[in-house]
Amino acid sequence: MTHPAPTPEHTSTHTAPQAPRPAWGSTARPRSMRVRPLVAAALLLCGTALQVGGAWGGLARQAWAGPSPAPLPTAPSTPSASTSQHDSAAKSGADSFTNAAALLPADAITHHTGQFDGHKIAYTAHAGTLTLRDDSGKPTARVFYTAYTQDDAAPDRRPVAYFFNGGPGAATAYLHLGAAGPEILAFPAGNPVDGASAKLQPNADSWLAAADLVFIDAPGTGWSTPTDPAHAAETFYTVKKDASAFAKAIQLWASTNGRLEAPRYLVGESYGGLRAIEVADALAQEQNFLVNGIVMISPALDMTLLDTANDTLAQAFVLPSLEMASLALQHKLTPENAASHLENAYAYALGPYASTLIAAPPEGEARSDFYDSVTAHTGLPRDVVERERGRIQPEAHDVRSRAGRLYSLYDATLSIADPFPEGVDNSASPDPALDGFTRAYGSAMQHYAATTLNFRTPLSYDLLNLKVNAAWDYRNGQEPLVRPIPTLRRLLALNPTLRVFIANGYYDLVCPYASSRWVAEQMPVGRNRIGLHVYAGGHMLYTRADSRTALSRDVRAFLTP
């Protein structure tokens, strides 16, 4: 894994300066950092087990009360629509934010120049908030977003990509500073799990080369703040209400900035894959706003298909990722042979392996042969495979811990020294990515927003809110679980030009490539409009410089067909 230092031109000027402010201390709410690795969390997470919340009541639809704000200003002396609304509201008392939402500052506008995909681009950054309201016009949340728009581009032809992460409970800093934004957080080439030494640097691979970018944090994450925390769960923390909130925020930004006719794309990571499908549906049904395409990175497409504790298909899906990681750790994987190895691994997992799992457990010599075969394909110790009875639970400590090293679920080739090599309950075994180096995205976002975007607030940037994750309700009315695949099938049928781009990392055990491929292969309509792309790396494949560049190249082609 290498991170060569890029040398793109990157300059910026603040055009809406604010008075200097003191360095704020942390105001993060206390929370438990210990969860089952695959149940919770973020960027990322799609779990192997689901915590289903209560039956939430309250308002399911966000509405905008009042006229649309004026278009985004371009002159330094002109305040943004959102700024003027917040200022006037504060003076009149119309929106009397009394909780943390009151600590969010006015919107900030800055102008920059960068070198992206070999082209010099002048662009405007707008960091601020959108106010969501209920049917009575009462504010329900201030949603933080960062928009990057190319200067002097035709607003009706320039594509717009709307980003969100997953979790549920993850903020968008992962995609913002990890993959697509004009700056990225680079980890040391010689020690990719060293988050303390990560540095922000210009991102020559920014997707700004092909589209304007709007990063939106879900309520309860980043700086997106519900106005009534006591009722936030019933207002926002369900699959459908979350989608409605994002759909309203997207429609509000597009209408505010005169971009309703521009080509539009949704970009989601992990749970953000499921979210992207639901948001596309909510945009169409509630906002009359159809999207041109959906980009999903390491997506959770159906949570049951990731439940390796209970679902046989999920157990089969994780096997190719284990095999690819094993080959990489043995230095047997090259760019030239990776595709053939992945094809063979997928064929074994969905063929002999899956057929053995769904049949009666083998006995005698057949059982021994099965365990030998799983051992050969996964590279796991034979005794571990036998203890797991061939049904590999990737979160199990004895699967992840080998020779004193603890491997990540998010990238099975990355490891740290195992703090509990003697063995420990699975839930107490930290993940090198989730609990380690990726936490650096939070402080990096706080620094970047203050110094580059001129957006300063005493609130801590909530990168990964596990309280939101724990409160999430995955149900659809009386149905036990939202199943988004039928929704995707309807979207592809109703919108004959809708295209889908799915990216996976070889070594991701959380949302493995095999699950994406299997879902795509089941599509009766639009299968030829779904592109599958696989890269060296794990769940956050973009933390590897080469894969980030390849992903950017492929996405740019997707955004500009």
What pTM value is reported for the model? 0.84
What is the residue range of 125's domain? 99-305+435-559
What's the whole-number mean pLDDT along residues 293-298? 98
Reference 188, options 2, 7, 8, 329; nearest CA is: 2
> Peptide bond preceding 168: is omega within 30 degrees of 0, i.e. cis?
yes
Residues 413 and 526 in one domain: no
Residues 297 and 356 in one domain: no
Residues 415 and 510 in one domain: no
383 within a domain of the structure (yes/no): yes
Residues 429 and 446 in one domain: no
Instruction: Kindly tell me if the per-residue pLDDT of 121 is higher than 70.
Output: yes
487 within a domain of the structure (yes/no): yes
70 within a domain of the structure (yes/no): no
**pLDDT tens per residue, range 100-111:** 888 888 999 999
Decide which of 398, 433, 468 is a domain's last residue.
433
Residues 388 and 443 in one domain: no
Beta strands in 165-223 (DSSP E): 183-186, 199-202, 212-216
8 within a domain of the structure (yes/no): no
Residues 373 and 439 in one domain: no
The confidence band for 189, taking pLDDT boundaries of 50, 70 and 90, is confident
Long-range contacts of 150-157 (CB under 8 A, 24+ apart): 150/121, 150/122, 150/123, 150/208, 150/212, 151/111, 151/122, 151/123, 151/124, 152/122, 153/212, 155/257, 155/258, 155/259, 155/261, 155/262, 156/261, 156/262, 157/262, 157/263
Instruction: Kindly tell me if the per-residue pLDDT of 95 is higher than 60.
Output: yes
In the chain, the number of structural domains is 2
Residues 192 and 274 in one domain: yes
Residues 376 and 330 in one domain: yes
What pLDDT, on a 0 to 100 scale, did the predictor assign at position 89? 39
Decide which of 394, 412, 433 is a domain's last residue.
433
399 within a domain of the structure (yes/no): yes
Decide which of 433, 453, 471 is a domain's last residue.
433
**pLDDT tens per residue, range 457-507:** 999 999 999 999 999 998 877 676 677 899 999 999 999 999 999 999 999
Residues 250 and 346 in one domain: no
92 within a domain of the structure (yes/no): no
- Is 281 or 93 the better-scoring residue by pLDDT? 281
CATH of the domain at 218: 3.40.50.1820
What pLDDT, on a 0 to 100 scale, did the predictor assign at position 39? 36
57 within a domain of the structure (yes/no): no
**pLDDT tens per residue, range 307-328:** 898 899 999 999 999 999 999 9
The confidence band for 422, taking pLDDT boundaries of 50, 70 and 90, is confident
What pLDDT, on a 0 to 100 scale, did the predictor assign at position 484? 86
What pLDDT, on a 0 to 100 scale, did the predictor assign at position 426? 76
41 within a domain of the structure (yes/no): no
Residues 348 and 222 in one domain: no
Residues 182 and 239 in one domain: yes
In the structure encoding, which two tokens stand for residue 337, read together?
A: 């042979």
Residues 422 and 401 in one domain: yes
